[in-house]
């Protein structure tokens, strides 16, 4: 039995999310189906994160165990051939030790949220970014974002359906960048709560609109109450960028 680590890119628009679902297509099911067609084995694929419906990935890490003898390159090529026409691609594949786990070995997860500020509808980017039809003050958003960096009770920014044991999380990075009509929000942490990134971005957008102040964001955090949330940004603009693991 060989454990293979995958780097997976996908467009989340056709899927109910990463995790296998009874009521619709998922990225996990697509990869597992392709692996079973290649090997004849029932294969379980485990990922670094469970993205929601409509959320995308540029570098999701995942692993699977295969009994059949196959090289990483052959496996990657075969998976990509069988994943078509689903918008899922395996960018990398390598054999890893049996105790390497895409989720539990992960040291940090990195996300990007993409906002486009323009009145005109999105065309080819529809579903790939959040269109806000007016300007946002990215400087105010960047300043307010630092309130959320560090270890906090993120109950306010946590989905009511979150299954995590604790709302305590350490947010290592929350940066806001801007250029033209583009705003990017970059978040890094060892782990995130369900909807945490989208909830933080939604509240930062309120700051960017001038509807919330930095103090309002701080009050929402300190409330540790989901009813204090401004709103969730839509899934369209959220991308899982990469996951970090111990070297060697």
Beta pairing class for 2-10 and 56-66: antiparallel
Q: Among residues 80, 60, 59, 58, which one has the least CA distance to residue 19? A: 60
Q: How many CA atoms lie within 13 A of 227 on its CB side?
A: 0
* DSSP letter string, 174-210: EEEEEETTEEEEEEEES---TTHHHHHHHHHHHHHHT
Residue 5 in contact with residue 71, Cβ under 8 Å?
no
- Using DSSP's 3-state secondary structure scheme, residue 202 falls into helix
Q: How far apart are CA 170 and CA 164, in angstroms?
A: 14
What residues act catalytically? Answer: 52
Cβ atoms within 10 Å of 184's Cβ, excluding its own: 17
In sequence order, which ranges of 60-166 are alpha helices (DSSP H)?
72-83, 138-145
Q: How far apart are CA 49 and CA 71, in angstroms?
A: 25
Q: Is it true that the peptide bond before 139 is cis, omega within 30 degrees of 0?
A: no
């Amino acid at each position: 039995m060989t454990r293979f680590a995958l780097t997976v890119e996908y467009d989340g628009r056709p899927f109910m999310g990463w995790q296998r679902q009874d009521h619709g297509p998922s990225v996990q099911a697509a990869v597992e189906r392709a692996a079973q067609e290649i090997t004849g084995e029932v294969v379980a694929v485990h990922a670094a994160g469970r993205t929601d419906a409509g959320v995308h990935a540029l570098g999701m890490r995942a692993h699977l165990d295969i009994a059949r003898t196959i090289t990483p390159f052959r496996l990657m090529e075969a998976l990509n051939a069988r994943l078509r026409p689903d918008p899922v691609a395996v960018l990398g594949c390598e054999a890893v030790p049996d105790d390497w786990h895409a989720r539990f070995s992960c040291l940090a997860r990195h996300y990007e949220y993409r906002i486009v500020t323009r009145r005109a509808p999105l065309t080819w980017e529809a579903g790939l970014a959040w269109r806000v039809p007016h300007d946002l003050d990215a400087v105010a958003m960047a300043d307010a974002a630092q309130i959320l960096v560090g270890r906090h009770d993120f109950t306010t920014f946590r989905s009511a359906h979150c299954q995590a044991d604790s709302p305590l999380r350490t947010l290592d990075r929350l940066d806001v960048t801007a250029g033209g009509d583009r705003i990017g929000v970059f978040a890094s942490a060892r782990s995130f709560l369900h909807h945490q990134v989208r909830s933080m971005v939604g509240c930062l957008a309120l700051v960017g609109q001038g509807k919330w102040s930095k103090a309002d964001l701080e009050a929402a955090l300190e409330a540790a109450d989901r009813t204090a949330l401004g709103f969730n940004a839509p899934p369209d603009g959220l991308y899982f960028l990469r996951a970090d693991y111990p070297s060697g």
